[in-house]
Amino acid sequence: MDAITVKHLTKEYRLTKKGTGLTGAVRSLIRPQKVTLRAVDDISFSIPEGEITAFIGPNGAGKSTTVKMMCGILKPTGGEILIHGKNPAKERTQVVQSLGVVFGQRTQLAWDLRLGESFELMKHIYQIDRGMYEENLKIMDEILDISQFIDTPVRQLSLGQRMRGDLVAAMLHSPKVLFLDEPTIGLDVEGKYAIRKFIKEINRQKGTTVILTTHDLGDIEQLCKRLIIINKGKIVEDGALDELIDRIAPCKNLVVEYYDENYVQHDKAQIIGRNKNIVTYQFRKSKITGAGLICDISDRAKIKDATIQETKIDDIIRIAYGREC
């Protein structure tokens, strides 16, 4: 079953165009020039229950706007969103009962009080019964080890600890869908590792559907089967990460170091560079495997070293961003 269905979703903002300088300021006061900005432009997709999906795109692409509409913060200009069959724009209080939301740049924890008080507050807001509350806290403590700072005031927590606290607060009421807006932003290596481990474990143990936006490609590589790339308000890619890599970068490079300047030609690989005894071949992944190519070459000449170069995921994403649909 689909956890989320989005059909022809559109969001427009009305902005006042500002002129330059004092004259411009006065002019736009007297006769404001309104322009319509289409932040999200007729997008449709659906997300099955229990899937981890990443929304990525350059800054200002419309991904935050899309996520904010999905969790009911913003009202769409057009189109429809259904979360487990319910429309967040119409049945807000019912929809949010089954949502957990974490904004990486903002906290929902009570700043001046010990972390545990914020958890207690969630218990009242979502009317979580004691059994479920304690069980959830126990499960999450095992993954995130929050008990070591649960008695510390939130204002004294490190960013990584605060983020872990925010994740726990969002999951205490066992929501079916978890939205994470840049959950690893600004975190150190260990912090990122903890957050990713948590997302994976929660998804596995509770079958939670997870939607995350991120600029961190490590998040995508380690967490997501599915990737939705948004640019200029439209979906430019939607699919599995490895499919995207195959499509955008169908070739790999093989760099071979020979003992002398006698090198080998291969009918399934093209030589794209040579520097004395170092030769770079490019081959299509669909035609031959890297191992096969090395085998063939080493049958015919003595080789010292061989390295396979893959297109970096950064480059692949950059190519996808640059593409218009």
Judged by the rule CB under 8 A, the positions of this chain that interact with other proteins are: 13, 39, 60, 62, 64-65, 68, 71-75, 92-94, 96-97, 99, 101, 103, 106, 108, 110, 112-113, 117, 120-121, 124-127, 153
CB of 47 to other proteins, least distance (A): 19
Say how many CA atoms lie within 13 Å of 312 toward its Cβ: 5
> Whole-angstrom Cα distance, residue 66 to residue 258?
53
Nearer to other proteins, 182 or 316 (CB): 182
Strands 2-17 and 78-83: antiparallel
Strands 226-231 and 2-17: unpaired
> Whole-angstrom Cα distance, residue 17 to residue 35?
7
**Roughly how many angstroms between the first and final C-alpha of the chain, as a whole number?**
28
Two structure tokens written together for 286: 């669909």
> Whole-angstrom Cα distance, residue 242 to residue 173?
34
Nearer to other proteins, 68 or 192 (CB): 68
CB of 72 to other proteins, least distance (A): 6
Nearer to other proteins, 13 or 259 (CB): 13
Nearer to other proteins, 17 or 268 (CB): 17
Reference 182, options 158, 218, 153, 208; nearest CA is: 218
CB of 13 to other proteins, least distance (A): 7
Nearer to other proteins, 121 or 217 (CB): 121
Nearer to other proteins, 26 or 240 (CB): 26
Q: Residue 177 in 3-state DSSP?
A: strand
Q: Residue 58 in 3-state DSSP?
A: coil
> Whole-angstrom Cα distance, residue 154 to residue 161?
9
CB of 259 to other proteins, least distance (A): 58
CB of 32 to other proteins, least distance (A): 12
CB of 165 to other proteins, least distance (A): 15
